[in-house]
Amino acid sequence: MFEIDLLSKVVPYKLSSHKAWEASQGDVLKLDWNEATICPSPLVLKRLAEVVKSGRMNWYPDVDNKKLRQKIADYCSVDVENVQFFASSDSLHEYIVRCFVGFGDKTMIVSPTYDNFRAVAQANGADLIYHWLNSDFVLDYGRLRLDLVKFAPKIVYIVNPNNPTGSGHDVSVLERVILDFPKVLFIVDEAYYEFYGHTISKLVSKTGNLIVTRTFSKAFALASFRVGYVISSPTIVDSLNKIRNAKNVSLFAQVAAEAVLDDLPYTENYVAEVIRAKDWFIEALQNLTFLETINSYGNFILLKFKNRDEKLGLIVFLENRGIYIRDYAHLVGMEVYARVTVGTLSEMQRVYKEFVDFSNSRFS
C-alpha cells in the first residue's frame, strides 16, 4: 500500500466554522474570519456587469494583466517589476514554500500567528522553529536576533500586524533585522496593512531577502474573489513567476481588484469607520468583568476569558443570535482566547448589547 508518511504528520490549518453559512437568520453578523462586513465598492458590481456583457467568460483570464499590476505597483509606491498578483495570499504562500523551502529547511514562525503558512511549510517538509512573542504578545527584537543566530533559519515568517494577537511590530526595527541577516529570507504578511498604516514594502528596493504578501480580502472586501499580491525584488518575483499558474486568478477577481483600486476613497472610509468602531467597542467592553480586551492594529480584537467555559458560553450565546466569532483554542497557549472581527459602529453596538445580555444572564 502506498504510504504518505510526510502528510500523515501534518496538522491541518483549522478553518473557521461554516455555521454562519448554514444559519437561518436573515441578519447574520459573520465576525469570525476578519472579512469586511460591507460589500466592496459599487464600482465592482458595475465593472462585473460589463464583463458579463462582454462575452469573454469562455476565455481564460488575462494571464499577464499589466494594467492590474501597474495599479498595484502605484498603490504600493514601488516599480511594477516588484509586484505580481495571485489567487489569494494563501495561494501565494504556497508558491513561496514550493519555490524556496526544501525538505529539512529551517523555517522560523513568529508565533502565535496565522497558522496556514505553518501547515503549508510543514507539508513541504520544513523543519519548523517557533519564536514566541512575549506574554503580552510584543515582539522582543533582541530575543529574535538571538534566535536567528542560534537556529540560523533559512526562512522567517512574520505577520504584521499580527493575527490573532493584533500586535503591531515596529517597522523601522524590523528593517534593521532584515538588513542585518541578508542570508535569511523574511516573509512579512501584511494582510491587515490598510488598518495598520505602516509597511515594510519599500525595503524591497534595498534588499533581496524580503517578500511582502498582501490580500484584497480584508479592507477591500473581496474575500470571495480570492486575490492577493506579492511585493518583492524583481529576482524573487521572477522566481515565483516560474511556477505561478497564471490562469488561476479569475477574470472576475482581476476586474474586481482593479475596481477597488480605482475607488480608494471607498476603502479608506470603511477603514476609518472600522477604527472608530474598534475604539468604541474596546472602551465599551471595559464595563464587563468576565473578559479582557487586547487592542489590535487590525480589523479585529482579541478577547481573553477567565476560563474556557465562559468563552464557549459566550460563543454559543452569540451564535443563537446570529453573531459568529472565532474560538482560538486550536493555537498553543490560546485556549481561553477568542477573536472578534470589527465592523461598522452600528454593528459593534449590536454585538456589545449581546455581550451585556450574556453577562446579565450568566453572572447577575
Helices (H), 101-233: 116-123, 141-151, 171-180, 193-196
Place 1 in a pLDDT band, splitting at 50, 70 and 90: very low
Cell of residue 337, nine digits: 482566547
Residue 3: pLDDT over 60: no
Q: What is the 3-state secondary structure (H, E, C) of 5-50?
A: HHHHCCCCCCCCCCHHHHCCCCCCEECCCCCCCCCCCHHHHHHHHH
Cell of residue 90, nine digits: 494563501
Residue 56: pLDDT over 90: no
Q: Which H or E element spans position 314?
A: helix 308-319
Return the CA Rg of the chain: 21
Q: Which own/partner pairs from 353-361 qualify as long-range (CB within 8 Å, at least 24 positions apart)?
A: 354/317, 354/318, 354/321, 354/323, 355/285, 355/288, 355/314, 356/287, 356/288, 357/317, 358/313, 358/314, 358/317, 358/318, 359/288, 359/289, 359/290, 361/317
What does the pLDDT read at residue 175? 97
Contact 47, 172 (CB under 8 A): no
Tell me which CATH homologous superfamily contains domain 16-40+265-363. Answer: Aspartate Aminotransferase, domain 1 (3.90.1150.10)
Residue 183: pLDDT over 60: yes
Contact 330, 118 (CB under 8 A): no
> How far is the C-alpha of 297 from the C-alpha of 196, rounded, in Å?
5
Closest C-alpha to 96, from 104, 110, 81, 107: 107
> How far is the C-alpha of 113 from the C-alpha of 160, rounded, in Å?
10
> Lowest-confidence range among 39-43, 55-59, 80-84, 196-200?
55-59
Residue 30: pLDDT over 90: yes
Residue 25: pLDDT over 70: no
Contact 228, 88 (CB under 8 A): yes
Query: Helices 251-261 and 264-285 sit at what angle, rounded to 10 degrees?
Result: 80
Query: Helices 234-243 and 89-100 sit at what angle, rounded to 10 degrees?
Result: 90
B/e letters for 283-319, b = 16+ CB within 10 Å, e = fewer, are ebbeebebbebbebbbbbbbbebeeeebbebbbebbb
What does the pLDDT read at residue 22? 76
Place 17 in a pLDDT band, splitting at 50, 70 and 90: low
DSSP helix/strand/coil, 155: strand
Residue 35: pLDDT over 90: yes
Over residues 261-289, the mean pLDDT reads 97
Q: What architecture (CATH level 2) is domain 42-262?
A: 3-Layer(aba) Sandwich (3.40)
The domains of the chain are located at 16-40+265-363, 42-262
> How far is the C-alpha of 28 from the C-alpha of 321, rounded, in Å?
8
What does the pLDDT read at residue 2? 42
Look up cell 480584508; give the residue: 218
In the chain, the DSSP E strands lie at 29-30, 83-86, 106-111, 127-132, 155-159, 185-189, 210-215, 228-232, 291-294, 300-305, 323-324, 326-327, 337-341
Over residues 155-175, the mean pLDDT reads 96
Closest C-alpha to 339, from 278, 284, 288: 278
Cell of residue 217, nine digits: 480580502
What does the pLDDT read at residue 332? 84
pLDDT in tens, 207-266: 999 999 999 999 999 999 999 999 999 999 999 999 999 899 999 999 999 999 999 999
Share of the chain above pLDDT 90, in %: 87
> How far is the C-alpha of 82 from the C-alpha of 101, rounded, in Å?
21
> Lowest-confidence range among 24-38, 169-183, 200-214?
24-38
pLDDT in tens, 71-110: 999 999 999 999 999 999 999 999 999 999 999 999 999 9
Contact 78, 201 (CB under 8 A): yes
Over residues 170-181, the mean pLDDT reads 97
Average pLDDT of the chain is 93
pLDDT in tens, 110-152: 999 999 999 999 999 999 999 999 999 999 999 999 999 999 9
Whole-prediction pTM: 0.94
